[in-house]
Amino acid sequence: MERPNIFDALVTVEGYPEELYEEPVETIQAVEGAAADVPDSGDDETSDEEFLPPSSDDESPDEVSTEEELEGDEEECSPSELEDLITYTTKDGTKWRKAPVLPSTKTKSKNIFKPPPTQIPGTHHVHKPYDSFKLFVSDKMITDTVRYTNMFGSSKWPNMWVACDSVEIEALFGLMLFLGVRKQNMLSTSEVWDPIDGISLVRACMSINRFKTLMSCLRFDDKSTRSARRGKDTFAPFRDMWDQFNNNLSKHYIAGPLLTIDEQLVPFRGRCNFLQYLPSKPDRYGIKIFWIADSSNCFPLFGIPYLGRPIGQDRQVNLGRNTALQLAQPFFKSGHNVTCDNYFTDFSLAEGCLKNGLTVVGTVRTNKRFLPEPFKSKKGLPLHGNEFAYGTTATLVNYQGKRNKNTVVLSSMHEKGVVEAGAPKNKPEIILFYNSTKGAVDALDKMAHTYTSKRVTNVKSRKGQAG
């Protein structure tokens, strides 16, 4: 009997979001409320050297602005007038003005989005869930999984192992996704394969013994060379698969003009030397992954797993800023805006991105040395009051969202602080923009939790017999 296509069954499941394959996911609004502030920590800028990505003096034709755009970049104040406007000089020497430099009415080149002119490759044949699955889990990824699974299985059961193939591995992945969609992923294996109350489609794909065997032998790398590779890379058991998946994410999708950088905690309690404990997250224990995602539909574009501090090395300084630059690097010279929280935001991040054709909007910790002293005080403004400071490349806003709690946001995208009449709680435009774009990675994490394929991981459930 021919094995049923488990991916076609996905769209028949009640409650499954068919619109994921019919039209783009709707924008998920950020959680209401003021921007979430990370508790203040010690200033880490004193021992760090300025890190700015190298920028080329040569511009490609696509990067050269038109004459009108260049006119928009000209400021109307002379250098002497600018000097007169300076009212703040911070501890690190950064100068801020209380009054903005009146910008030209022309759109600045930094705010002009430059999408790639090419069409997305390989997407013209996507008609079913299986077609979308193959875009991101490529044939090479499946072939590698088959090879390494057979290698481990034959070494574990030399006389009993039955070799698997790509069709069977795809069926295994589809089966697990199917159970996740039905919210039955945490049922015991015996319940799923029960001949009376179980799922007939699952039983038609493979036997219960074969499922247990494949799950116990599933491998994504060559175990015989793992120890040597792990000496250089602690993520070695999954590094090749992760790099291929990362490449497929950006290969088959063109990002919109607004991007979001944030962290995700993938729940995991197994043996792992870079396991993280984050009490603010729902799962608390897991593997932390830094993502850059499309703000409009939460599509992940590039991810970096946090592997902890390498053994024998000093504490990493400005990890958040350097990680944000690494995540944004594929989008240099594109005119994108990047929204991030105060773990990543730094004045040098805004300058570095601006030199590479990106703008940044993000909350700032109030202990940063580049902030004016009034912006560090939590009691300097009335409730729902705000104040602005203007630099040559960025704008600061200090907003009193709650009593004894202020929120500081830095923006290299906005030239002028604006508070629209009738704005909720008198929030400035910069704050409203940040709130509307900050939640992409959180929404991505929520969808991953909703349709997770995670299985029960106790030892008894993983034991299987070759069959």
Does the 61-116+254-447 domain belong in CATH 3.90.350?
yes
Average pLDDT, the chain: 81
CB–CB of 140/166 below 8 Å?
A: no
Spell out the long-range contacts of 224-229 with Cβ–Cβ below 8 A and sequence spacing 24 or more: 224/151
Indicate if the alpha-carbon torsion angle 429, 431, 432, 438 is positive or negative: positive
List the domain boundaries for the chain. 6-28+123-230, 61-116+254-447
Can you give the pLDDT at residue 314?
77
Residue 64 in this model has a pLDDT that exceeds 80: no
Q: Closest by alpha carbon to 337, among 437, 215, 458?
A: 437
Nearest to 307 by CA among 264, 342, 272, 261: 272
Q: Which residue has the higher pLDDT, 455 or 179?
A: 179
**For the chain, percent of residues with pLDDT exceeding 90:** 54
DSSP SS3 for 242: helix
pLDDT band at 77 (very low <50, low <70, confident <90, very high): low
Rounded to an integer, what distance in angstroms lies between the CA atom of residue 463 and that of residue 228? Answer: 28
Give the pair of three-digit tokens for residue 127.
């008609």
Q: Averaged over 92-119, what is the pLDDT?
A: 69
Q: Is 399 helix (H, G, I), strand (E, B) or coil?
A: strand
Tell me the whole-structure pTM to 2 decimals. Answer: 0.79
SS3 36: coil
Instruction: List pLDDT tens digits, range 180-194.
Output: 999 998 899 999 999
Number of other residues whose CB lies within 10 A of the CB of residue 239:
17
Check pLDDT > 70 for residue 90: yes
* Per-residue pLDDT at 122: 65
**pLDDT top residue among 242 and 379:** 242
Distance CA 193, CA 207 (A): 8
Supply the pLDDT for residue 302. Answer: 96
If one compares 147 and 49, the residue with the highest pLDDT of the two is: 147
DSSP letters for 227-238: HHHHTT-TTGGG
Instruction: Determine which of 62-71, 74-83, 310-319, 422-431 has the lowest per-residue pLDDT on average.
Output: 62-71
Q: pLDDT at position 192, please? A: 94
More confident residue, 178 or 270: 178
CB 465 within 8 A of CB 214: no
Q: Is the pLDDT reported for residue 37 higher than 60? A: no
Q: What is the pLDDT of residue 271?
A: 85
In tens, the pLDDT along 304-356 reads 999 988 766 778 788 999 999 999 999 998 899 999 999 999 999 999 999 99
> What distances in angstroms separate CA 279 from CA 269, 284, 448, one per listed residue?
14, 5, 19
* Tens-digit pLDDT profile for residues 239-298: 999 999 999 998 888 899 999 999 999 998 888 889 999 888 888 899 999 999 999 999
